[in-house]
């Protein structure tokens, strides 16, 4: 049974990636270019050491979003609010980090905790609405994403928390002093964020929490069956609320690598769209910490190697289409596999029943 | 407060009285502050232009959700409409633009239906993936098809504009009254003037979809089956209704409506496709469905309200400020109303809201643009928070349904 599970768990994502490759192959052929040549170009460009470094950094951010989404998925929560939670986290982390002066390690720690708090509290709104008011977290989070963006755009105004550095068009928060910055690791003429290690730690903590603690057991139980968990004494609504907050807290870490090791301030140039990326990665990686890592790397690889297509007259946005089709293929694959499994189980049960029946008759 | 408000809105006559009262206050504020933009024909015309895309997205969301499928892909389907509308409008004229948008929108809705109804994947995942693919696909296709304008391929070549008409006799008459500056009457004439001049036939046709949808939902056999599929698909199936087919049709229509709303953006509200043109309007459409309590009339009201804030965003700031005064006065009147009926708690809340509003008006000179932008989302969240018990969404909207399952 477990062997079967692992088999399908790896085959389904690979099949999804393959089928979207076929899809892109067809689109590229229609464009009149040689698809294989394009794929080769992307691979050689994407595995160029300097690009590899920026891919790793991007992977770290995506990984946090993926883990945040996976925590939600374990509870059957669809945390589409990762975008707003990440913004809140990065913004307030930057503001608090710039406002205080502390010894080096403590300073960084304070920023990280602030970000987790900001992300968690923002997610708590959706959690509260879900548990107390029965509002679907999908709807409330979509609204909260836009509201978060508006609040931050407002607070970034020059009269409030933002400054306009000389020669720049982008308003940003005050820079975080050196004590609140994280070092980078220099490899291949590039700089890898040391936040990478925090991400690895979060991945391990996520796995331990889920598989080795009572809390994780309760979480999974509530996700599998709200009623069963509740009647066996788990505070199921409470679990939903806490899980939402936890997911938001991790989402608050998405922008940390960039903030602590690169820009040292928050600006409107911080990218958006992490919510759907996070959810896609959790789906593709089957909520497993290692799976999510591979998915996150695939995503950043695709994005960083796409610009090379521009020189061949292919708009690089083809990669976005490819990501979308990967996600669709993967959920379709899971759905099909689930149905096959169900049928197999039904058949097995039916077989046992028939045998039992025939035994009875022969007696 | 909610109960009172609900009873206030019970009959059309009362709504009329309420609207008239609100309008009286607006006229009063305008004559006091000298800001005349709220009731100017420009504002009402712009409100209508901004409301139509939201209305179409909202009606699209309504069709899908009434049949039991949540359509988060509205934004992507609107993008499909803006792109195909603008491109085919440029090639073959605006009418063909709308036809193409309808066809491709229908196809995108059908795609969502295949994924969610036939294959049965999560409706939110499907919708979000459609948003992503539509956004990426539109940019990809722009890069290939659009002639570059100064190295920029994010804007389509302009299509011919759709013919507009001004209602003869009435519009000039209203304009003359508007010019006379009579209290209340001129203000009313100003608003109506904006709604009667330079209107596009498309606007009228799309507005007609509100009563048509309403009729289909509550008067036709198909509408009954559609609502049944959204409320209780198992029971519907047991009575011989083909839930799958109903959902296929409803979700396809949903995509078509959203796409037509997008085409309206590209062909009537402007004359080009521009990247990011939809700007979250699909999600606002989703919000109007909730705001309008899953009813066509409600969706219409919601889209007018959100279209109004959208219109204000691009107009003068002083009108936003005078709107705040209007809000304060409304809260004050409510406070009086509640004190008379001896309901002290809501009276106190309204009084506090009134005071805060006046304080805001006195202490700042401009409302941040960002808050005006986020207003629809904020309003919907408030409705969800405080009126969630009064909302009547289709019971099974968003739930996966397999034929023969329990």
User: What are the domain boundaries of chain A?
Assistant: 65-272
User: Which carries the bigger pLDDT value, residue B6 or residue A288?
Assistant: A288
Looking at chain A, the whole-number percentage of residues with pLDDT higher than 70 is: 98
Element spanning A139, H or E: helix A137-155
Does residue B396 lie within any of the structural domains? no
What's chain B's average pLDDT? 85
- A31 to chain B, any CB pair closer than 8 A? The answer is yes
A163 interface with B at CB cutoff 8 Å: no
Q: Given B120, B129, B380, which is nearest A143 (Cβ)? A: B380
Output the pLDDT for position B1: 42
Residues B125 and B167 in one domain: yes
Is the pLDDT at B5 greater than 70, yes or no? no
**Does residue B303 sit within a domain?**
no
CA distance A194 to chain B (A): 31
Does one domain contain both B355 and B209?
no
Which range among A304-318, B149-163, B224-238 shows the weakest confidence by mean pLDDT?
B149-163
What is the predicted pLDDT for the residue at B24? 80
Residues B99 and B203 grouped into a single domain: yes
Interface probe with B: pick from A313, A324, A329, most Cβ of B within 10 Å:
A324
Distance, in angstroms, between A209 CA and closest chain B CA?
A: 26
The whole-angstrom separation of Cα B123 and Cα B243 is 16
Whether chain A has a CB inside 8 Å of the CB on B278: the answer is no
Share of chain B above pLDDT 90, in %: 38
CA-based end-to-end distance of chain B? 40
Q: Note if the pTM is more than 0.90.
A: no
Where do runs of H (alpha helix) occur along A156-255?
195-212, 214-224, 226-231, 236-251
Euclidean distance between CA atoms B119 and B116, whole angstroms: 6
The per-residue pLDDT for range A4-62, each reduced to its tens digit, is: 667 777 788 888 889 889 998 998 888 888 888 888 888 888 888 888 888 999 999 99
Question: Is B263 domain-assigned?
Answer: yes
Among candidates A146, A317, A327 on the partner chain, residue whose Cβ is nearest the Cβ of B140: A317
Q: Within a 10 A sphere around the Cβ of A346, how many other Cβ atoms? A: 10
Let me know whether B187 and B77 are in one domain.
Answer: yes
- Same domain, yes or no, for B167 and B220? yes
**Among B122, B129, B385, beta carbon nearest to A324:** B129
Show residues of chain A in contact with B133, CB under 8 Å: 320-321, 324-325, 328
User: How many whole angstroms separate alpha carbon B197 and alpha carbon B214?
Assistant: 27
Range of the domain at B76: 44-280
pLDDT at A349: 85
Chain A interface mutation, best of B313, B384, B388, B403, highest count of A Cβ atoms under 10 Å:
B384
B231, B260, B280 - which closes a domain = B280
| CB of A146 less than 8 A from some CB of B | yes
Does B288 fall in a domain? no
Instruction: Kindly determine whether residue A283 and residue B125, on different chains, have CB atoms separated by under 8 Å.
Output: yes
Give B 135-194 residues with CB within 8 A of chain A: 135-137, 139-140, 142-144, 153
* Residues B384, A31: C-beta atoms closer than 8 Å: no
Same domain, B265 and B134: yes
Q: What size, in residues, is chain B? A: 406
Neighbouring C-beta atoms of residue A140, cutoff 10 Å = 24
Q: Quick one: pLDDT band at residue B79, thresholds 50, 70, 90?
A: very high
Q: How many CB atoms lie within 10 A of CB B57?
A: 35
Shared-domain flag, residues B328 and B258: no
CA closest to A310 among chain B residues: B143
Please report whether residue B294 resides in a domain.
Answer: no
Contact partners, residue A271, CB within 8 Å, separation at least 6: none
Closest CB to B371: pick one of A31, A136, A154.
Answer: A154
Pairing state between β A190-193 and A184-187: antiparallel
pLDDT higher than threshold 50 for residue A142: yes
> How many domains in chain B?
2
Contacts of B287 in chain A (CB under 8 A): 143
Distance from C-alpha of A296 to C-alpha of A285, rounded to nearest angstrom: 9
Question: Closest Cα of chain A to B35: distance in Å?
Answer: 25
Q: Which residue of B has its CA nearest to A32?
A: B144
Predicted confidence (pLDDT) per residue in B327-373, tens digit: 888 888 888 888 888 888 878 888 888 888 888 777 776 777 777 78
Best mutation target, B124, B151, B392, B405, to test chain A (most A CBs within 10 A): B124
Q: Is residue B292 part of a domain?
A: no
CA angle A303, A304, A305 (to 5 degrees): 95
Q: Residue A358 and residue A112: Cα distance in Å, rounded?
A: 66
Tracing tokens 């690169």 back to the chain, one arrives at A262
The 10 Å Cβ neighbour count of residue B19 is 10
Q: In this structure, is residue B287 part of a structural domain?
A: no
From chain A, pick out residues whose CB is under 8 angstroms from the CB of B380: 139, 143
> Based on the number of CB atoms within 10 Å of its own CB, is A200 exposed (0-12), middle (13-18) or buried (19 or more)?
middle
Question: What is the tens place of the pLDDT at every residue in A249-285?
Answer: 999 999 999 899 888 888 888 888 898 899 999 988 8
Query: Cα angle at A272 between A266 and A274, to 5 degrees?
Result: 115
Q: What is the pLDDT of residue A2?
A: 59
Q: Chain A to chain B, count of Cβ pairs less than 8 Å apart?
A: 122
Q: Please tell me which of the candidates B135, B286, B374 has its beta carbon nearest to residue A150.
A: B374
- The verdict on residue B262 lying in a domain is yes
Determine the Cα–Cα distance for residues A235 and A220; give it in Å rounded to an integer: 13
Instruction: Assess A23–B contact: CB distance below 8 Å, yes or no.
Output: no
More confident residue, B328 or B289: B289
**pLDDT of B89-133, one tens digit each?**
999 989 999 999 999 999 999 999 999 998 888 898 899 999 999
Look at residue B4 in the predicted model and tell me its pLDDT: 46
**Is the domain of B255 the same as that of B330?**
no
Query: Does B14 score more than 70 pLDDT?
Result: no
> Is residue B2 less than 8 Å (CB to CB) from chain A?
no
Contact, A173 vs A267, CB < 8 A?
yes
Nearest CB partner across the interface for A321, out of B133, B280, B373:
B133
What tens digit of pLDDT does each residue of B381-398 get?
888 887 777 778 888 887
Going from the C-alpha of B324 to that of each of B34, B303, B359, the distances in angstroms are 14, 20, 10
On whether both B161 and B257 belong to a single domain, the answer is: yes
Inspect the interface and report whether the beta carbons of B370 and A283 lie closer than 8 Å. no
B71 touches chain A (CB under 8 A): no
Whole-number pLDDT of residue B315: 67
pLDDT attached to residue B264: 94
Residue B318 pLDDT exceeds 80: no
Q: Summarize pLDDT for A196-234 with one digit per residue, the tens.
A: 999 999 999 999 999 999 989 888 888 888 888 888 888
Contact with chain A for residue B125, Cβ under 8 A? yes
B208, B330: one domain: no
Same domain, B225 and B106: yes
* B226 confidence band (pLDDT: 50, 70, 90): very high
């Amino acid at each position: 049974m477990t062997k079967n599970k692992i088999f399908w768990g790896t085959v389904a994502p690979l099949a999804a990636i393959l089928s979207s490759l076929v899809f892109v192959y067809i689109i590229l052929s229609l464009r009149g270019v040689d698809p294989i040549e394009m794929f080769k170009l992307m691979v050689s460009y994407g595995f160029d050491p300097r690009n590899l470094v920026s891919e790793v950094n991007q992977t770290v951010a995506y990984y946090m979003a993926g883990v945040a989404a996976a925590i939600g998925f374990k509870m059957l929560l669809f945390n589409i609010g990762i975008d707003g939670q990440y913004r809140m986290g990065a913004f307030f982390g930057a503001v608090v980090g710039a406002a205080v002066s502390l010894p080096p390690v403590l300073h960084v720690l304070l920023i990280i905790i602030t970000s987790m708090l900001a992300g968690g509290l923002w997610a708590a709104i959706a959690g509260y609405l879900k548990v107390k008011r029965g509002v679907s977290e999908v709807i409330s989070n979509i609204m909260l994403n836009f509201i978060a963006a508006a609040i931050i755009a407002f607070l970034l105004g020059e009269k409030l928390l933002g400054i306009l550095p000389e020669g720049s068009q982008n308003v940003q928060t005050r820079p975080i002093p050196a004590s609140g910055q994280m070092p980078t690791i220099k490899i291949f003429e590039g700089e890898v964020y040391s936040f990478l290690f925090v991400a690895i730690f979060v991945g391990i903590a996520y796995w331990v929490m889920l598989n080795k603690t009572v809390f994780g057991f309760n979480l999974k139980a509530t996700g599998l069956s709200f009623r069963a968990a509740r009647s066996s004494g788990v505070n199921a609504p409470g679990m939903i609320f806490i899980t939402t907050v936890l997911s938001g807290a991790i989402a608050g870490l998405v922008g940390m690598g960039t903030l602590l090791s690169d820009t040292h301030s928050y600006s409107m140039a911080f990218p958006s769209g992490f919510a759907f990326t996070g959810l896609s990665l959790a789906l593709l990686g089957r909520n497993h910490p290692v799976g999510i890592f591979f998915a996150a790397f695939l995503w950043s690889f695709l994005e960083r190697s796409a610009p090379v297509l521009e020189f061949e007259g292919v708009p690089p946005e083809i990669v976005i289409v490819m990501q979308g089709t990967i996600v669709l293929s993967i959920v379709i694959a899971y759905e099909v596999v689930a149905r096959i499994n169900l049928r197999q189980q039904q058949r097995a049960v039916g077989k046992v029943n028939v045998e039992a029946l025939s035994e009875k008759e022969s007696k | 407060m909610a109960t009172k408000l609900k009873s206030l809105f019970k009959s059309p006559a009362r709504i009329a009285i309420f609207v008239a009262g609100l309008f009286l206050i607006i006229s009063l504020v305008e004559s006091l502050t000298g800001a005349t933009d709220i009731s100017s024909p420009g504002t009402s015309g712009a409100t209508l232009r901004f409301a139509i895309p939201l209305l179409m997205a909202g009606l699209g969301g309504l069709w899908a959700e009434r049949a039991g499928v949540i359509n988060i892909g509205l934004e992507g389907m609107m993008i499909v409409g803006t792109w195909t509308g603008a491109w085919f409008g440029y090639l073959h004229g605006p009418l063909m633009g709308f036809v193409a948008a309808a066809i491709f929108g229908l196809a995108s809705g059908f795609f969502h239906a295949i994924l969610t109804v036939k294959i049965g994947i999560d409706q939110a995942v499907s919708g979000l993936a459609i948003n992503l693919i539509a956004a990426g696909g539109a940019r990809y296709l722009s890069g290939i098809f659009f002639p570059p304008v100064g190295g920029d391929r994010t804007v389509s070549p302009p299509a011919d504009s759709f013919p507009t008409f001004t209602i003869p006799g009435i519009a000039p008459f209203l304009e003359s009254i508007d010019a006379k500056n009579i209290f209340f009457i001129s203000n009313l004439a100003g608003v109506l003037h904006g709604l009667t001049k330079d209107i596009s036939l498309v606007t009228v046709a799309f507005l007609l979809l509100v009563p048509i949808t309403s009729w289909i939902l509550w008067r036709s056999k198909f509408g009954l089956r559609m609502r049944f599929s959204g409320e209780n698909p198992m029971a519907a199936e047991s009575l011989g209704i083909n839930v799958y087919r109903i959902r296929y049709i409803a979700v396809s229509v949903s995509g078509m409506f959203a796409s037509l709303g997008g085409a309206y953006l590209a062909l009537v509200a402007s004359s080009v496709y521009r990247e990011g043109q939809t700007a979250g309007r699909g999600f606002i459409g989703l919000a109007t469905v909730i705001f309008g309590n899953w009813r066509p009339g409600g969706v219409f009201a919601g889209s007018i309200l959100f279209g109004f804030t959208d219109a204000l965003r691009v107009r003068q700031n002083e009108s936003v400020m005078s709107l705040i005064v209007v809000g304060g006065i409304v809260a004050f009147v409510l406070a009086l109303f509640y004190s008379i009926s001896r309901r002290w708690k809501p009276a106190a809340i309204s009084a506090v809201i009134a005071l805060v509003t006046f304080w805001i008006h006195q202490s700042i000179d401009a409302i941040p643009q960002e808050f005006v932008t986020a207003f629809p989302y904020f309003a919907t969240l408030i409705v969800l928070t405080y009126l969630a018990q009064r909302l009547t969404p289709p019971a099974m909207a968003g739930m996966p349904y397999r034929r023969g399952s329990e």
